[in-house]
Amino acid sequence: MPKFAANLTMLYNEVEFLDRFEAAAQAGFRGVEYLFPYAYPKEQLGEALQKHDLKQVLHNLPAGDWAKGERGIAALPNRVGEFQDGVGRTVEYATALGCQQVNVLAGIAPPGADAEKVRETFVSNIRFAARKLQAAGIKLLIEAINTFDIPGFYVNGTQQTLDLIAASGSDNIFVQYDIYHMQRMEGELAATMKKHLERIAHVQLADNPGRNEPGTGEINYPFLFRWLDDIGYQGWIGCEYKPKAATIEGLGWIKPYL
């Protein structure tokens, strides 16, 4: 049976962020994820997790100025120092929250930047991050994101992700496989997840088109959930979708699984 985590960045927007932990627990979720924890004290987040018996499944490394449209800095040659500082901050938060895996967002390649320099920067940064995180018992994940939603995003395919991991030489870097993003970029969801199962540490979902809850689009989620069980996937599935109406009204799809 799949293990589902509520993405608190996208779900329960009807309530304040710190109240979303309780809402997720009341709905039957046992795990949570969200983009970034850094706006809140570690102690406050840890208290919310403990109070509602929730596991922190995932959060991202610092990713630049999100409000201004930045979507990661790991591939930006002029931001290496900032990236490395962010790794240290990530270790502090992930350790305090008991979070055993974190995701790195590559970002949008600078216009006109030398392609080889961008690649070298990203590989060097993930190698650095993987080493620091491994010392703290934390996995580093890389997510490929579709270029329809984020034009120019540097990491946008499964094979590219695997090639970058291989180039790093690290055994502490894994794939965060987002079904929605890879449906838009590649298709072949079931075959890809089976082929690369040993490198996939986390899965996320949303339906397509619309990035709404399962059952609103073209992706056969009941089949994929059975498939993930059949191939032996042991990780969490993060529910990172935009509710078509309100969160609670859109949770009918998950009731058989919680």
Catalytic residue positions, numbered: 143, 240
- What one-character DSSP code corresponds to residue 29? -
Map tokens 């987002």 to a residue: 178
Give the HSE-up count for residue 192: Cα atoms under 13 Å, Cβ half-sphere.
20
Q: Note whether 3 and 235 are within 8 A (CB).
A: yes
Give the HSE-up count for residue 5: Cα atoms under 13 Å, Cβ half-sphere.
25
Interatomic CA distance for residues 141 and 130, integer angstroms: 9
Which residues, other chains included, contact 209 with Cβ-Cβ below 8 Å and sequence gap of 6+? 217, 218
Interatomic CA distance for residues 55 and 71, integer angstroms: 25
Between CA 192 and CA 253, with CA 212 as vertex, the angle to 5 degrees is: 85
* One-character DSSP codes across 44-90: HHHHHHHHTT-EEEEEEPP-S-GGGT--B-TT-GGGHHHHHHHHHHH
Interatomic CA distance for residues 96 and 257, integer angstroms: 29
Chain mean position to CA 197: 16
